[in-house]
Structure 1
Amino acid sequence: MEKEIIISKPDMDRFNEMSEPYKKVLANDVHGLAAIYSGNPDALFNPITARIDTIFHIAAYGGHEEVLRVLLRMVQPPKKAEVLKVKNIYGNTILHEVATTTQVNAARLLMEEVLPGNDNWQREEILGAQNKLGETPLFRAAEYSCKMMVEYLATAIGRTGNLESHYRRNDGTSILHIAVIGQKFDTAIWLLGKSPELATYTDKNGNTSLHLLASMASAFKSSSPTKGIFKELIYHCLPSDSRKEEGTNELTKNRQNRDLEQGEQSRGLNQQDYCKGWKMIVQIWKQKKMHESAVKLAKLLVETDASWFEPHEPEEDDTVIMERKEEEKEETSESNATANTKRSPEPDTPLLIATKTGIVEIVNEILTKYPQAVYHIGTNGRNILHVAIMNRQYKVFNVVKNIKEAKRLVRGIDNHGCTILHYAAKTKYYHGGTKPTPALKLQQELTWFEEIKNQMPSHFIMHLNKRDTTADQLFKDNHLDLLKTAQEWVKTTSRSCSTVAILVATVVFTAAYTAPGGFLQNGRPILLEQPLYSFFTVMDVAGLASSLTSVVIFLSILTSSLEFEDFHHRLPRNLSLGFTFLFFSVTSTMMTFTATILLLVHLEKKWTATLTYAAAFLPICIFALFQFPLYYQYFVAAVKSILDFLRSNLPVIIRTIIDLIIRNWVLICTLCSSHFGFACKMFARFYEIIRYRWSAHSPRKASLLVFHLDGRCQPSELLDLSGDFLSILTSSLEIEDFCHRLPRSLSLGFTFLFFSVPSTMLTFTATILLLVHLEKRWTATLTYAAAFLPICVFAMFQFPLYYQYFVAAVDSVFDFLRKNLPGNSELIRIKNDY
């Protein structure tokens, strides 16, 4: 038979006896505690929690000074010394618990009430009591409490004992280590002032306090920037920590001690008193003070740091290797497997750790104090540039590359045969970058790779690492997944935006037919004399032109190859332009609707009109609020790429144009003389048409003619277009098809497609010219220019692709004719001339 399990009935009386005083301590109920323990003072030493905490432990941990005072009065004088010797399950005394709070008065109460007189031996015993980790109350205060608590306990220890016995716990961690780990930087600075030798203490892993500080990215401004322009502005406007260091002024120190002893605070207003109720400002201020304290601590710790002087000779010298032997490859693959298990890839000195985490303050401080530290090489043969590039620490890289002594570092090769360009190609430590979308992330990686390549000697670009790979090959292999993600995102976004743009174009095109107020029998708008009607017309035309332009741009993106090179400059720039025109078209459409409401709605009461007009403008504000961040990212990326392109290529472009003019000036003059008369006639005819459109107020016959011409030619083009592309879709798509037939069919399909789209745009333009009635010439000029904008943009963006397919088709036709017709030499001459 199975053994019967008997569950004992819990002792509810014991639970109530433990929970009642616990609740009263948390509620700071002094009278309730006095009622419980006044008849039985010995019960004060009984545990009331599962951690074997007494009522004194709970009161001390909560910093309840008044509760401690009342409880100590109930303890008989012979047993008062025992109060500070009682330990819980972790070996913590009451002084250990109160040391974790900021209540210095509570610690002073325990020391003066429990240990009166000059019993130095007993004071030393209680202050030096260790818990199971080997921590004294002073050690615990450095980890959890404030600087004032550490000062008080250190002063009390200094009167009776030796401070150095409190500086380490059982695992070798020093009191300075624990203060840095707890980010109590003010305490750490004070401890260093008290005992400067603490800066050289190492833990069981051989790390100094500077090692730990260099790994805390959140403690420094450069590696944890404030997010948001508004928060950044508040951060810079807030004053620095202007509090004077305690102890520098004896009068101030005595006054602070007197206030502390009496439980009072100075009546002077603190700076933070003005920020109460503004939690965000207080949080930013605390962050700024922490940053300043961390920088001050780093300066003190760098004074004694010599870790950068440890020499580590790299396995390879700065020699370019274009080909490796097969035996070397085999040895490398075997040695890498064992080396990866033995060596840690993490930087092992404060300089390289700060480089990895992006703490520019520590890097600057070390390189300013010890300029020769820039040549430090880690255990794996990496220098500071390798580490900065590998972890995408752009700020550190910019600091180091501007140092004259660091020019030799770009030739550094680590133990795996990798240059800094190989590390720019690796994504092992890449965490997504700082950009929001895959396309911008890939652009950031391409720009980063290009910048590193420009810093290197040209012959180092083709260097092979020990896996027989160049940096370019490594970049493409490691970024293939990001490329696929970016391609899918660009295609999806372009399709979605094209759909939205077409919908907007349809809406604004319809709005042009249904003008607010309607038309007279002669086609003149009824509300033409209203000032808002011109605004309505301009916004409608702008919406139509910008929406069609965005469709053209997104179409050019969809028809591009979407390779690595496209994501460097062209695609982000086109996306930025597409988003710009799309956002402008949506905004123009909303403004058109707003103008329509203002034209049609007539309200007598002012408050009703105000609410109606505010509601009319609400969509515009919401759209700007939600869509501006994404547009801003792409706009900034596009502007940067354009500026970089102009900065690097503008002198070359200007020199090329001048050189072409000088070389071909005879041909240019001939062309100008032969076509000058024709050009003048065309310009005069165009001017007459524009002048006619300005002066006429009835439906235009010229515009109507363009409308009919485009309407007649467009269906046949669409039929040819559908036939060409349908033939491609139904083909077998074998290798032979790609030789001649498919490029030729694609060229014809693109030709008809490109011709049908401008025809459609011209139809829209003609409609605008027919319906738009504007009195002012400058308004009409801008409107007509906007109407022709989509056609110009379409030609500019789509012509390169069409040109490539057209040339391929013409080449295939010439090849076919050369093989099948006589007179090949004449065909070859014609093809070469072409």
Structure 2
Amino acid sequence: MTAVATAPTMHPELLKAACHGSCRELTNLLNGGADVPIEVVVDIDHPGTVCSPPSSLLLEGVTPDGDSALHIVAAYGYLKKARAVYDKAPHLLCARNSGGSTPLHSAARAGHATMAALLVELARGEEVAGEDGRVTTLVRMQNELGETALHEAIRAGHMLTVAELMTADPFLARVPDSGTSPLFLAISLRHEQIVRELYQRDKKLSYSGPDGQNALHAAVLRSRDMTKLLLSWNKELTKKRDQHGNTPLHFAVSLETGTRGMLPQYAVPVVNGTSITSFLNVVGTPMDLTMHILEADAYSAYQPDEEGSFPIHVAALAGRLSSVIILLLKCPGCASLRDTHGRTFLHVAVMKKRYDIVRYACQTPMFSSIMNKQDNEGNTALHLAVEVGDWWGFTCLFANKEVDLNLPNNKQHTPREISVSSTPTGLYCLLHSRILIQQALISADATLQICRRDNMKKGPSTQSDAKIDAVISNSTQFLGLGLVLITTMAFGAAFALPGGYRADDHPKGGTPTLSTEKVFQGFLMANALAFICSSLAVLSLVFAGTPTVEIPMRYMHYNISIWLSFNGVLSLGTAFVLAIYIMITPVISGTAIMVMVVFSSLEILYMPSLVEKIVKFMIVVCGRVGILPVMLRSEMPKVMLLTIWPLMVIFGWQEYAWRHMWHYVPVAQKLVT
């Protein structure tokens, strides 16, 4: 066995002197002015043989990550120390650490332009001594990541270091010819000045990036200005595809946009792999570079990726309505392009629930030809909307009379058939998207599959009675808590009437002071209805939440409790408004009016969260079927009556009590009152 040459560990005194000691201290150490022990390598097979290196091997020591003394002084920018180390060990100029980096990498990483210049000058001195190409060799040396010192300077954002390296080798921006080029790195880090500097130094620099990408792939995701620069420098970049077949246009249209509501999201839903929607508008709207790329190369809109998706499909997938519009206006043929599954951009938008894009397509007459286009499985966009349960996308398609509601797919399933089979057994809210979709299809008399109705297949998943029991029990707990609060407030209001009570020495002592007011009669009725409805709703919830009661009866009482709960809330809100009106109007009428305006405004702002789906349902069904058939054949009149009957009773009783009861009170009694 032969001796194995291993790099010795750097002595602590040398490491200290290289890091922060004086240059004289380091020089004395290198000249042998200190008693420094040197590590040796022993051949264990020949114990008598000991390799004792000379004192000059002190500089052969390295740190745990493989840095030599020249690496260290270069990283700290100590010019005199660097020259002193080089004078003793010139071979360290090209020495590599464990990551493959040279001292020049260390200097560039730390942003020491003067140190980089010194190292280049030392290499140039070796050229004078007869070693040709020494400078080029030094500056083009790559670490294990395939990066030169120029990459390190760009990553650190040091313009002076970049200039020094490009001066040493004007063609350095061409290295490497594949992988991450300096230009790609500068663009990805948004160093626009460095990008311009690299191009000005070398017009034929490398545009390559990782995974087959080029600099334009990075620019479209980073900066509009840099994208324009690259398009003006090299339009051929628009045609280059990465290893997955994506062109820069695929990247440009893939910037996903988040939906913003009127209110901030206090509970933020997070989907792994998807960015959240920020409520801080510190960044401008997403840059739409589709127009610039299409102006440079319109044919890029017709280049698919390896999965067959064209840029129009990617834009629909990401919800980029502006990109979709630009693509369709500049390249109308994109509308009929299909991916490997035979899907158009409308199919993709429906599957990803991109409501804005679906609405745009359905409201634009030029896209009528794709409304009923079927994919490889025979599904139209309506089939997919029903399958994924997208209510808002479904309403756009349903409202478009060009859309065929009865078209079967390859399995002979119509949209209504899919709606029936894709809804699992269970208990659903009336406003559930799948329930509303099926209701709309039934209202439009959409057809089912041609087969015996008693042999219709059940849905893919079912719930056992135990699971249904758990759903009802959990629902009744939350609803019951709210109903108890309503009942308590209504009960308390009955004994804390607005205006208080008459004094005991009054002929009608202990009676309500405002009992003679017309609005007071309405307040009493509203409060009574709130108490009665909430109490009965609690009773129904008891039946609905009792496991010993059979499921159908629990269904019935659960529905009754929801109806009574809504009536109780409506009555309690009306009682509050009437109480405010009675107490404040005689004194400050303006305040009373303002309170009622604020109360009504908040209700109007809140109600869309509850009724927007049902309102949209009525609009699209009436538009498709007609208003008269809906009103005559449906149960909507009954639903409306059961919804507003508390208001009819409250204000009807108020008017009746004032006209037919109060006026019969003897005049003398009125005067006493």
TM-score category of the 2 structures, normalised to the smaller one: 0.5 to 0.7
Q: Aligned equivalents of 2:657 and 2:579: distance in 1?
A: 33
Q: How many residues align?
A: 503
Deviation sequence 1:31-89 (CA, Å, 0-9, x none)? 88468646435688487964243554345345x3xx33256457754458365234322
Superposed displacement of residue 187, structure 1: 1.9
Deviations 1:418-473 (A, max 9, x none): 2332212223xxxxxxxxxxxxxx6xx45643543443568x43333222322212
**How well do the aligned residues superpose, as a CA RMSD in angstroms?**
5.7
Inter-partner Cα distance in structure 1 for 2:605 and 2:394: 26
Structure 1 residues 407 and 589: alpha-carbon distance in aligned structure 2, compared to 1, 3 A threshold: closer
Q: Say whether 1:358 aligns with 2:339.
A: no
Cα distance between partner residues in 1 of 2:311 and 2:17: 50
Matched, 1:401 2:362: yes
**TM-score, structure 2 length as denominator?**
0.58
2:102 is aligned with 1:141:
no
* Residue 691 of structure 1: aligned partner: 663
What secondary structure is seen at the aligned counterpart in 2 of 1:398?
helix
Name the residue aligned to 1:196.
Answer: 235
Aligned match of 2:610: 634
**Is the 8 Å Cα contact of residues 185 and 297 (structure 1) preserved in structure 2?**
no
- What is the DSSP-based 3-state SS (H/G/I as helix, E as strand, rest coil) of the residue aligned with 1:422? helix
2:12 counterpart residue number: 13
Relative to its length, the structure with more helix (as a share) is 1
Structure 2 residue corresponding to 1:286, chosen from 267, 283, 287: 283
Aligned residue number for residue 215 of structure 1: 254
Runs of at least 5 residues in structure 2 that lack an aligned partner in the other structure: 1-6, 21-66, 126-134, 266-277, 433-467, 545-550, 585-597, 634-654
Shift of 1:172: 3.5
What amino acid does structure 2 have at the position aligned with 1:188? T
Q: Encode CA deviations 1:3-28: one digit per residue, 9 max, x unaligned.
A: xxxxx997673995699479xx9x99
> Structure 1 pair 83/684, CA: closer, same or farther in 2 (3 Å)?
closer
Are the structure 2 counterparts of residues 513 and 306 from structure 1 closer, same or farther at C-alpha, using a change threshold of 3 Å? closer
Counterpart check, 1:95 vs 2:150: yes
Read off the aligned partner of 2:244 and give its amino acid letter: N
Check conservation: 2:249, 2:290, Cα contact below 8 A.
no
Q: Measure, in 1, the Cα distance between the counterparts of 2:263 and 2:236.
A: 42
Q: Whole-Å Cα distance in 2 between the matches of residues 106 and 189 of structure 1?
A: 26
Secondary structure at the counterpart of residue 139 of structure 1: helix
Q: Does 1:60 align with 2:105?
A: no
Q: Normalising to structure 1: TM-score of the pair?
A: 0.48
* Partner Cα separation in structure 2 for residue 17 and residue 87 of structure 1: 28
Are 1:214 and 1:359, in contact at CA under 8 Å, matched by a contact in 2? Answer: yes
Q: Structure 1 residue 128 and structure 2 residue 174: aligned?
A: yes
- Seen in structure 2, the aligned counterparts of structure 1 residues 194 and 71 have a Cα distance that, compared at 3 Å, is closer
| Match among 400, 413, 420 for residue 476 of structure 1 | 420
Q: Partner of 1:303 in structure 2?
A: 298
Structure 1: distance between partners of 2:281 and 2:355: 25
Post-superposition shift, 1:150?
Answer: 1.4
Structure 2 counterpart SS, 1:40: helix
1:67-466, aligned counterparts within 5 Å? 67-69=112-114, 72-73=117-118, 77-79=122-124, 81=135, 84-112=139-167, 115=168, 122-124=169-171, 126-130=172-176, 134-158=179-203, 162-163=204-205, 166-168=206-208, 172-180=212-220, 182-217=221-256, 223-226=257-260, 284-288=281-285, 291-292=286-287, 294-300=289-295, 303-305=298-300, 307=302, 348-427=309-388, 445-446=390-391, 448-449=393-394, 451-455=396-400, 460-466=404-410
Q: CA deviation at 1:191?
A: 0.5
Does the 8 Å CA contact 2:113/2:160 hold for their aligned counterparts? no
* SS of residue matched to 1:652: helix
Change (3 A) 1:76 1:450: closer
Give distance in 1, aligned partners of 2:369 and 2:342. Answer: 15
Aligned with 1:513 (options 473, 495, 517): 495
Q: Secondary structure at the match of 2:661?
A: helix
SS in 1 for 2:411: coil
- Shift of the alpha carbon at 1:109? 3.7
Match of 1:582 in 2: 569
2:85 to 40, 45, 60: 40
The whole-number CA distance in structure 2 between the counterparts of 1:216 and 1:684 is 63
Which amino acid letter does the alignment assign opposite residue 286 of structure 1? V
Pair 1:462–1:451, CA change in 2 (3 A) = same
Q: CA deviation at 1:216?
A: 2.8
Q: Distance in 2 between matches of 1:293 and 1:637?
A: 32
Does structure 2 retain, via aligned residues, the 8 Å contact 1:101–1:144?
no
Q: Distance in 1 between matches of 2:292 and 2:562?
A: 46
Q: 1:407 to 1:286 in 2, by over 3 A?
A: same
Q: Distance in 2 between matches of 1:654 and 1:168?
A: 63
- Is the partner of 2:299 in helix, strand or coil? coil
* CA distance 1:349–1:14, shift in 2 (3 Å): farther
Q: Per-residue displacement from partner, 1:736-764 (whole Å, max 9, x unpaired)?
A: xxxxxxxxxxxxxxxxxxxxxxxxxxxxx
Residues of 1 paired with 2:502 and 2:480: CA distance?
32
Percent identity for Structure 1 against Structure 2: 18
Q: Residues 686, 520 of structure 1: CA spacing in aligned structure 2 closer, same or farther, 3 A cutoff?
A: closer
Contact persistence 1:41–1:75 (CA under 8 A)? no
Provide, for residues 335-373 of structure 1, a one-character-per-residue CA deviation record: whole Å limited to 9, x for no partner.
xxxxxxxx99x6521112222222112211121112233
Structure 2 vs 1, CA of residues 490 and 297 (structure 1 numbering), >3 Å: closer, same or farther? farther
Measured against aligned partners, the alpha-carbon deviations of 1:160-201 in whole angstroms (never above 9, x if no partner) come to xx34xx133585432222434x53443222101111121122
Superposed, 1:513-532 pairs within 5 Å as 513=495, 520-521=503-504, 524-525=509-510, 528=513
Secondary structure at 2:188 match in 1: helix
Change in Cα spacing, 1:580 to 1:284, as seen in structure 2 (3 Å) is farther
**CA distance in structure 2 between the aligned counterparts of 1:87 and 1:688, rounded to whole angstroms:** 100
1:401–1:407 contact (8 Å) kept in structure 2: yes
2:99 is matched with which residue: 51, 70, 85?
Answer: 51
Counterpart-to-counterpart distance in 1, 2:376 and 2:73: 64
How far 1:106 sits from its partner (Å)? 3.3
Give deviations 1:571-595, integer Å, cap 9, x for gaps. Answer: 99x97995696398489789999x9
CA distance in 1, matches of 2:95, 2:606: 60
AA partner of residue 144 (structure 1) = L
How many angstroms apart in 1 are the aligned matches of 2:17 and 2:190? 28
Q: Per-residue deviation at 1:153?
A: 0.2
| Structure 1 counterpart of 2:486, one-letter code | V
1:756-781 residue CA offsets vs partner (Å, 9 max, x unmatched): xxxxxxxxxxxxxxxxxxx9xxxxxx
CA distance 1:187–1:95, shift in 2 (3 Å):
same
Structure 2 residue identity aligned to 1:496: F
Secondary structure of residue in 2 paired with 1:500: helix
Distance 1:381 1:213 in 2: 23
CA contact (8 A) 1:41 1:74 kept: no
> What SS does structure 2 have at the residue aligned with 1:292?
coil
Separation of aligned partners in 1, 2:353 and 2:11: 61
- Report the alpha carbon displacement of residue 136 of structure 1 after superposing the two structures with TM: 3.1
Gapped regions of structure 1 (runs ≥ 5): 1-7, 116-121, 218-222, 232-279, 311-342, 428-441, 599-620, 658-682, 699-774, 776-834
